[in-house]
Amino acid sequence: MNVLLTHSEGRLERLAAALTARGFNVTHHPLIKTELLDNEITASARDSLRSDWLLFTSRTAVWSWTSLGLPLTGQVPKLGAVGESTAQEITCSGGTVALVAEPASAQGLLETFRAHVSPPARVGLPCGEQALPTLEAGLAHAGFKVSKLPLYRTLTQPLPNISADLIVLASPSAVAALPETLTHARLVALGPSTVRAVRARGWRATEAKTPDTAGVVGAVLDAARGTLTLETL
């Protein structure tokens, strides 16, 4: 079975090898790429260093933060992460993670943060330009002082002309990059927001239980055994 991986470079680095070891023919072609925003945003992000917390909702947000020359060490706010992979990215960049969401989602980060921190703490949210409002709105509603910090934009890339029996999608942006004419591939989605994006297009997907290599491999195996395709709901 031919599997197309569409996640960004630098993510799920062991996934292709894990699927190949299980007999799949794997191709990796990212459907999205990241573009850093301008210096005005960087200045706003530097102002957020006076916050009490910085909450990172993806590895890309961490990468963008450090790529813009912003610090994760020294006199910086406490650092929170949406899940273990984002926490590892912070740690690899020299930062110390004070809070990790459970489950690894924006809603999970909101609930975990509210359980451990009291308002009106000041919170900076490094994120993408197209980030969903779940975390920002939830924190504001709970009484926290929130600064949204868009550091990057996500650009879609065309789907390659290859034969894929199964496509793994890691973000709503990747779902948006799929053409309407794609009708003969099964889908695996990472996370509830990606599943919702799939459903919004009238399709179905097998959801990975966790957004890591083990979770995705399990979902691919489930999808490969089933008959779930891009049929409408």
Question: What pLDDT is attached to residue 98?
Answer: 98
The CATH classification of domain 2-31+157-225, taken from the options 3.20.20.80, 3.40.50.1110, 3.40.50.10090, 2.30.40.10: 3.40.50.10090
pTM: 0.75
How far, in Å, CA of 190 to CA of 30, rounded?
15
The residue with tokens 């590892």 is: 88
Q: b/e map of 15-51 (b: 16 or more CB within 10 Å)?
A: bbebbeeeebebeeebbbebeebeeebbebbeebeeb
Q: What is the side-by-side order of every strand in the sheet holding 32-36?
A: 32-36, 145-156, 122-128, 53-56, 78-81, 97-100
**Domain spans, the chain:** 2-31+157-225, 36-154
CA angle 141, 193, 123 (to 5 degrees): 35
Q: b/e map of 66-85 (b: 16 or more CB within 10 Å)?
A: bebebebeeeebbbbbbbbb
Percent of the chain whose pLDDT exceeds 70: 96
Domains 2-31+157-225 and 36-154 share a fold: yes
Q: Report domain 36-154's class.
A: alpha beta
Question: What pLDDT is attached to residue 181?
Answer: 79
Token couple for 11: 């993510």
User: Could you tell me if 140 and 114 are in contact, meaning their C-beta atoms sit under 8 angstroms apart?
Assistant: no
User: Strand, coil or helix: what is 148?
Assistant: strand
Beta strands in the chain (DSSP E): 2-5, 25-28, 32-36, 53-56, 78-81, 97-100, 122-128, 145-156, 166-169, 186-190, 206-208
Token couple for 107: 């809603």
Q: What confidence category does residue 229 fall into, taking pLDDT thresholds of 50, 70 and 90?
A: very low
How far, in Å, CA of 12 to CA of 170, rounded?
10
User: Could you tell me if 41 and 122 are in contact, meaning their C-beta atoms sit under 8 angstroms apart?
Assistant: no
Q: What is the CA radius of gyration of the chain?
A: 18
pLDDT digits over 66-125, tens only?
A: 999 999 999 999 999 998 889 999 999 999 999 999 888 899 999 999 999 999 999 999
Q: How does the average pLDDT of the chain come out, rounded?
A: 90
Write out the DSSP string of 39-89: HHHHHHHHHGGGSSEEEE-SHHHHHHHHHTT--SSSS--EEEESSHHHHHH
pLDDT digits over 30-43, tens only?
A: 998 888 987 667 77
What are the Cα distances from residue 229, in Å, to 98, 163, 225?
Answer: 41, 14, 12
Backbone angles phi, psi at 174, to 5 degrees: -65, -40
> Can you name the residues that pair with 44 across neighbouring β-strands?
none
